[in-house]
């Protein structure tokens, strides 16, 4: 498509020729104050539409190679004239901008309203396109414009430390008490935090959270804590299920390259947090040294179809959220209780990209949920579901709460929730202090199966990116 643009004082006005409201040309041409008509043919044209996907505001590719992609990478040659069309797909007010090339559209409101920007991608590199309305970038309306062959950032090849939520051990069933041995290796490893970032995590068994330990009341448990030779810190473990000095921490302050052990009797059924308890304790916990132990009651827990292990944590880094490369620990932010990153199971996309929690219509799902912390209380909630049963404070001998929307879990605390998945779709796990979603705290539970219109029905088409 060719279009004609009138330059007035160096600003290009092309809305009429494009048939789109508020199209903007970002490259100045001609002398200030002159009136010139220039014919351009865009080398590359993209069309995006605004939408809501996965609980976020997003751009979605509308056609061509980027069709249906969420916040797609827009790849163009260096020097190309680029046109980006934006169609309003959700009815809210939006715009689109590429600040590095001074391209900024008018705002559009109402479904099917449209605008565009046109600019010359004059320099190799990776740049942002985004909606500039307050809060919209943080809510998810941001993508990458890749010009030419930008110098590649060092690819993140760091180890994957996020814990698979489906690894929950074997239920104890109806067995009697026995001797159980738990081996924990404490490590310090630079691991993947996000797509372009890493952090030097401190871990139990190279995962965050540490292993899900499953015993029964009456078991005698021997815990062996070994500290890796290449560690630079002393580490330990405090089990909240233990009756004894420091929950075991008093006798497991382990220097690098050594091992220490203790035994305890599991006297209280419940779901309990364990964590490193070496000074300063909060630093060891925030760096990833937490996990949970389930002490099942006599006879075990009732059988369910799916069980998942999820823990919430927080990281305090010198760099702001969204930074690339190695993120460094900030003691100042830790003491101010102001985390830059929050996550389920160790990394910011552990439960949205790395691992897939799934069930089927009719399944009963059980989530063992805990908060490593070290500081913030969680308001645990699954958007689109109601907890049939909540074992408040993870007390397995108390009568569960029923029909609960959101449950509070303190740092160092836990809960066990159960619910039947009645309708297919993608359900979002959150802390209902919802600003934390923007710091990485989200997970997906995908339910597959046949829809039941008696449970949920709408004449509105469902966005496929919502997971339904």
Superfamily of domain 3-147: Cupredoxins -  blue copper proteins (2.60.40.420)
Among 138, 79, 78, 129, which Cα is nearest to 104's?
Answer: 129
> What is the Cα–Cα distance from 69 to 24, expressed in whole angstroms?
24
Beta bridge partners of 126: 146
Among 271, 306, 287, which Cα is nearest to 413's?
Answer: 271
**419 touches 385 (CB < 8 A):** yes
Quote the pLDDT of residue 54.
72
Give ranges for CATH 2.60.40.420 in the chain: 3-147, 179-296, 306-466
Beta bridge partners of 415: 369
**Structural domain 179-296, CATH architecture:** Sandwich (2.60)
**Helical (H) or strand (E) element with 284:** helix 281-286
pLDDT in tens, 79-91: 999 999 999 999 9
**189 touches 159 (CB < 8 A):** yes
Strands 197-204 vs 325-327: parallel, antiparallel or unpaired: parallel
The pTM (predicted TM-score) of the whole model is: 0.79
Which CATH number, 2.60.40.420, 3.40.50.1400, 3.40.50.1970, 2.40.50.140, labels domain 306-466? 2.60.40.420
Per-residue burial over 40-50, b if 16 or more Cβ lie within 10 Å, else e, is bebeebbbbbb
CA 347 to chain centre: 7
Quote the pLDDT of residue 29.
39
> What is the Cα–Cα distance from 288 to 153, expressed in whole angstroms?
26
261 pLDDT more than 90: yes
pLDDT in tens, 451-465: 999 999 988 765 544
Across the range 337-366, mean pLDDT stands at: 96
Provide the 10 A C-beta neighbour count for residue 133. Answer: 15
- Tally the C-alpha atoms within 13 A of residue 293's C-alpha that lie toward its C-beta: 26
pLDDT in tens, 385-410: 999 999 999 999 999 999 999 999 99
CA 236 to chain centre: 28
Quote the pLDDT of residue 461.
62
Quote the pLDDT of residue 5.
33
CA 11 to chain centre: 41
């Amino acid at each position: 498509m060719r279009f004609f643009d009138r330059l007035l004082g160096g600003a290009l006005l092309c809305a009429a020729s494009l048939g789109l409201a508020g199209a903007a040309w970002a490259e100045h041409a001609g002398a200030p104050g002159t009136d010139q008509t220039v014919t351009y043919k865009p080398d590359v044209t993209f069309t995006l539409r605004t939408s809501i996907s996965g609980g976020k505001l997003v751009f979605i590719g509308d056609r061509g190679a980027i069709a249906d992609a969420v916040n797609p990478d827009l790849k163009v040659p260096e020097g190309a004239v680029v046109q980006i069309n934006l169609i309003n797909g959700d009815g809210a007010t939006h715009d689109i901008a590429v600040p590095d090339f001074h391209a900024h559209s008018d705002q559009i409101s109402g479904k099917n309203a449209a605008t565009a920007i046109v600019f010359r991608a004059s320099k190799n590199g990776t740049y942002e396109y985004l909606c500039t309305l307050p809060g919209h970038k943080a809510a998810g309306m941001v993508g990458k414009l890749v010009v030419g062959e930008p110098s590649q950032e060092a690819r993140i090849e760091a180890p994957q430390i996020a814990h698979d939520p489906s690894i929950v051990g074997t239920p104890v069933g109806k067995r009697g008490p026995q001797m159980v041995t738990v081996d924990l290796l404490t490590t310090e490893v630079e691991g993947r935090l996000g797509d372009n970032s890493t952090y030097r995590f401190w871990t139990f068994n190279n995962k965050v959270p540490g292993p899900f330990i499953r015993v029964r009341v009456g078991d005698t448990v021997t815990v062996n804590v070994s500290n890796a030779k290449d560690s630079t810190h002393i580490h330990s473990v405090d089990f909240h299920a233990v009756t004894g000095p420091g929950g075991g921490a008093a006798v497991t302050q382990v220097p690098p390259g050594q091992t220490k052990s203790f035994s305890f009797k599991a006297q209280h059924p419940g779901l309990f947090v364990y964590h490193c308890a070496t000074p300063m304790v909060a630093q060891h916990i925030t760096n990833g040294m937490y996990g949970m132990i389930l002490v099942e009651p006599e006879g075990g827990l009732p059988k369910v179809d799916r069980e998942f292990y999820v823990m919430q944590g927080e990281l305090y880094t010198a760099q702001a959220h969204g930074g690339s490369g190695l993120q460094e620990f900030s003691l100042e932010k830790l003491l101010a209780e102001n985390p830059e990153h929050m996550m389920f199971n160790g990394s910011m996309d552990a439960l949205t990209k790395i691992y897939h929690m799934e069930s089927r219509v009719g399944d009963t799902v059980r989530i063992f949920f805990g908060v490593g912390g070290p500081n913030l209380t969680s308001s645990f909630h699954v958007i689109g579901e109601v907890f049939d049963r909540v074992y408040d404070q993870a007390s397995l001998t108390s009568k569960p709460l029923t029909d609960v929307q959101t449950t509070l879990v303190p740092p160092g605390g836990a809960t066990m929730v159960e619910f039947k998945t009645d309708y297919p779709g993608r359900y979002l796990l959150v802390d209902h202090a919802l600003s934390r979603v923007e710091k990485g705290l989200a997970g997906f539970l995908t339910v597959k199966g046949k829809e039941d219109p008696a449970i949920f029905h709408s004449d509105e088409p469902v966005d496929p990116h919502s997971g339904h």
